[in-house]
């Protein structure tokens, strides 16, 4: 079927859009749309070209990457650096596998499964074992010479090691910025100490690690690249002269490691598409366990002879596919910036967005953290902004797309009054980053204090979430956390949304919370700076809420893990009449003021920090940590030099395991953990 003028026009507009975004991404390191939105444009054009092959000539779907910039000398790749076709779900992965099987006439294939690092593709050329050139991918045929900058990356050796170094070897891989380095970089920007090539402090935060890595690698001053702490993973050989002959891709990866270059430790070889799909699913779930960002997985045919049979399209190998994970960043319109008031009066700006599907759900609001972050990110109502939602993390606005900012868009100003009906003045103490409403009667603070009191980490009252608290507050049924204990099923039945069963169930859940342990009650009071760990220490030291209430600041401060700041905050909280009145109401409601769960087990792990990662048979994460604490130990969420041991179950955090190995910290399996709980000692020591 011949393409109609409308279809021809649509294809031309798509080609122009893709060419524009290719330049923004590959040449300027300043993309205007997310990867997911770019992929959608390409797939639209591919669909039109599939239906109308006459439209294919000169299409960007035939090209790889973007043109090399004039800022660096051009480098012609002796072996082209191709791109990869994408699979957006398991059905597309299966369709690729069927094409592979057809191309191999049904012969079985093994697959190499790799992580798709979110960075910048680089080719390293070694002659006589010495690094002589490093080049970006560019358009796949011609890239940019970035040798001086690449030479500053610690992961990349200037001289190869081993006894079988080829006369010439090109190694392809990905330059990336570790997450810790990215956070540190933006901290330096915030502090005004990150200096640009012109000698002036950088004013804008970096949007994401990929763009930060690309911009760092393209610096004209290598000293700036050296400060950015970039990393590198190898994944492929290019030209090789005078080297060994390989039969499998997995062998080339072993060779790459043997000559001193890093290859990712998570690479596996599997014998079926089902196993490859399982690898993709596993890392989609665990993508945040790593110390760097990935945006998918790559599945490659392992046998090099089979690769020869399959060959290439105009832009990509037929023997490999990139399995793309659901996007965690999307672009949308920032409709407004508003401020919410928390239980301590903290005024937190948040973005009101044009709804966008990102990170597995539709997002219409996102955090902006505080006044300084809004100023640094310089986001303004009307902007096109980048929204990020990673896993269960609260969505946040990463930054604006400045090239799309409407003309005359004024900077946003932090409000001077609380949005509550009292309209009290907002205040920011000198030296603090937070702005607060200091009016004790602020109804927004009141409602959030009740929400916090009922939350899972505090009194854990099932069925009493934020919406229900607001419903009770609007109906005049609660004015502080203690009021929830006077609620009756009859009162709830008068409210919209409650039936007899749900009302009685909630009242029973509230009644059950009267017997929560003292540490939970202390946490639930919402005292500034007082978290669960300090609450647990205070409960063990003083035994009852009354003893804590009557203790002096100095006595409180001597408790391990408390100190002067927390002690002062506790003392000030209990000295306020309205708080003592609320505590009196809790007492009258029958809330237990003195239940401290004291372990009678031998304190075999006293003073020892044991970190748990992954699933252990017979334990939940909570019961494993409780077992450690019952024996006097601590179970922090991260590995440090002070960690006594790391307990590893199924699907552990690779980052925690790697850090433990780097620090020489013992790593225990389930049997080793059981022995540790029984004896307090490490197996065999």
The conformation of residue 79, written as its DSSP 8-state character, comes to: S
Encoding tokens for residue 15?
């080609």
Query: Distance (Å, rounded) from C-alpha 194 to C-alpha 517?
Result: 48
Long-range pairs for 649-653: beta carbons < 8 A, 24 or more residues apart:
649/612, 649/613, 649/614, 649/615, 649/616, 649/617, 649/619, 650/614, 650/615, 650/616, 651/282, 651/285, 651/286, 651/614, 651/615, 652/289, 652/613, 652/614, 653/286, 653/289, 653/613, 653/614
How many angstroms separate the Cα of 322 from the Cα of each of 83, 255, 504?
9, 23, 52
Query: Distance (Å, rounded) from C-alpha 187 to C-alpha 646?
Result: 29
Encoding tokens for residue 214?
């690309």
Q: Are 83 and 64 in contact (CB under 8 A)?
A: yes
The sheet that has 86-87: what strands, in order across it?
A: 86-87, 320-324, 294-301, 111-117, 268-270
Encoding tokens for residue 36?
């997911």
Instruction: Tell me how crowded residue 534 is: count the other CB atoms within 10 A of its CB.
Output: 23
Tell me if residue 646 falls in helix, strand or coil: strand
The conformation of residue 312, written as its DSSP 8-state character, comes to: B
Give me the phi and psi of 295, to 5 degrees please.
-120, 15
Active site residues: 116
Gap between the terminal Cα atoms of the chain: 77
Q: What share of residues in the chain are helix, strand, coil (percent, to 5)?
A: 40, 20, 40
Query: Distance (Å, rounded) from C-alpha 561 to C-alpha 565?
Result: 11
Give me the phi and psi of 376, to 5 degrees please.
-65, -40
**Pick from 369, 278, 363, 306: nearest CA to 329:** 363
Q: What angle do CA 32, 349, 441 make, to 5 degrees?
A: 170
Encoding tokens for residue 597?
């769960």
Query: Distance (Å, rounded) from C-alpha 475 to C-alpha 112?
Result: 61
How many angstroms separate the Cα of 440 from the Cα of each of 424, 527, 573?
10, 14, 12
The conformation of residue 248, written as its DSSP 8-state character, comes to: B
How many angstroms separate the Cα of 493 from the Cα of each of 88, 156, 411, 487, 657?
48, 68, 48, 11, 52
**Pick from 250, 325, 255, 256: nearest CA to 290:** 325
Query: Distance (Å, rounded) from C-alpha 148 to C-alpha 225?
Result: 9
Handedness of CA 433, 434, 435, 436 (dihedral sign): negative
Query: Distance (Å, rounded) from C-alpha 225 to C-alpha 149?
Result: 6
């Amino acid at each position: 079927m011949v393409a109609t003028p409308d279809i021809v026009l649509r294809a031309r507009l798509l080609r122009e859009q893709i060419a524009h975004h290719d330049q923004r991404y590959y040449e300027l390191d300043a993309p205007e749309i997310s990867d997911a939105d770019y992929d959608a444009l390409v797939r639209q054009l591919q669909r039109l070209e599939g239906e109308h092959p006459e439209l294919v000539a000169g299409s960007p779907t035939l090209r790889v990457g973007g043109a090399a910039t004039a800022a660096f000398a051009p480098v012609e790749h002796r072996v082209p650096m191709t791109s990869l076709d994408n699979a957006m779900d398991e059905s597309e992965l299966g369709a690729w596998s069927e094409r592979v099987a057809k191309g191999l006439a049904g012969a079985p294939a093994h697959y190499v499964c790799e992580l798709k690092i979110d960075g910048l593709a680089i080719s390293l050329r070694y002659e006589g074992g010495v690094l002589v050139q490093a080049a970006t991918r560019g358009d796949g045929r011609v890239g940019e010479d970035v040798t001086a900058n690449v030479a500053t990356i610690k992961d990349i050796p200037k001289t190869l090691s081993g006894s079988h170094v080829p006369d010439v070897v090109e190694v392809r891989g990905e330059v990336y910025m570790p997450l810790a380095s990215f956070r540190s970089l933006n901290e330096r920007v915030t502090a005004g100490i990150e200096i640009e090539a012109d000698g002036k402090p950088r004013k804008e935060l970096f949007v994401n690690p990929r763009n930060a890595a690309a911009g760092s690698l393209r610096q004209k001053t290598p000293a700036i690249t050296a400060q950015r702490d970039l990393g590198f993973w190898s994944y492929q050989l290019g030209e090789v002269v005078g080297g060994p002959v390989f039969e499998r891709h997995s062998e080339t990866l072993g060779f790459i490691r043997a000559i001193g270059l890093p290859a990712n430790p998570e690479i596996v070889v599997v014998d079926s598409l089902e196993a490859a799909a399982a690898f993709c699913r596993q890392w989609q779930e665990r993508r945040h366990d790593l110390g760097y960002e990935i945006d998918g997985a790559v599945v490659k045919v392992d046998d090099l002879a089979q690769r020869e049979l399959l060959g290439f399209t105009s832009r990509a190998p037929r023997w490999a596919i990139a399995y793309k994970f659901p996007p965690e960043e999307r672009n949308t319109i920032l409709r407004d910036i508003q401020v919410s008031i928390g239980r301590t009066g903290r005024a937190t700006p948040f973005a009101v967005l044009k709804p966008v599907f990102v990170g597995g759900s539709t997002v219409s609001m996102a955090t902006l953290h505080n006044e300084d972050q809004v100023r640094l990110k310089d986001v303004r109502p009307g902007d096109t902004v980048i929204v990020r939602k990673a896993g269960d993390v609260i969505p946040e606005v990463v930054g604006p797309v400045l090239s799309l900012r409407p003309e005359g868009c004024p900077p946003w100003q932090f409000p001077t009054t609380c949005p509550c009906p009292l309209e009290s003045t907002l205040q920011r103490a000198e030296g603090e980053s937070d702005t607060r409403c200091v009016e004790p009667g602020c109804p927004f603070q009141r409602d959030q204090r009740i929400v916090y009191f009922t939350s899972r980490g505090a009194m854990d009252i099932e069925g009493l979430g934020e919406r229900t608290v607001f419903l009770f507050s609007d109906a005049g049924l609660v004015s502080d956390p203690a009021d929830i204990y006077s609620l009756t099923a009859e009162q709830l039945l008068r409210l919209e949304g409650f039936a007899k069963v749900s009302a009685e169930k909630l009242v029973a859940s509230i009644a059950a919370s009267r017997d929560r342990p003292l540490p939970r009650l202390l946490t639930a009071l919402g005292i500034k700076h007082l978290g669960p760990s300090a609450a647990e220490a205070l409960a063990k030291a003083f035994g009852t809420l009354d003893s804590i209430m009557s203790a002096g600041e100095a006595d409180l401060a001597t408790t391990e893990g408390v100190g002067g700041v927390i002690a002062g905050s506790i003392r000030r909280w209990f000295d306020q009449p309205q708080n003592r009145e609320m505590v009196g109401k809790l007492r009258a409601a029958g809330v237990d003021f003195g239940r401290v769960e004291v372990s009678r087990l031998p304190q075999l792990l006293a003073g020892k920090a044991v970190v748990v990662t992954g699933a252990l048979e017979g334990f939940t994460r909570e019961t494993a940590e409780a077992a450690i604490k019952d024996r006097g130990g601590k179970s922090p969420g991260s590995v440090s030099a002070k960690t006594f041991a790391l307990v590893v179950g199924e699907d552990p955090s690779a980052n925690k395991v790697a850090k433990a190995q780097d620090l020489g910290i013992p790593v225990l399996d389930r049997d080793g953990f059981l022995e540790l709980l029984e004896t307090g000692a490490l197996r065999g020591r």
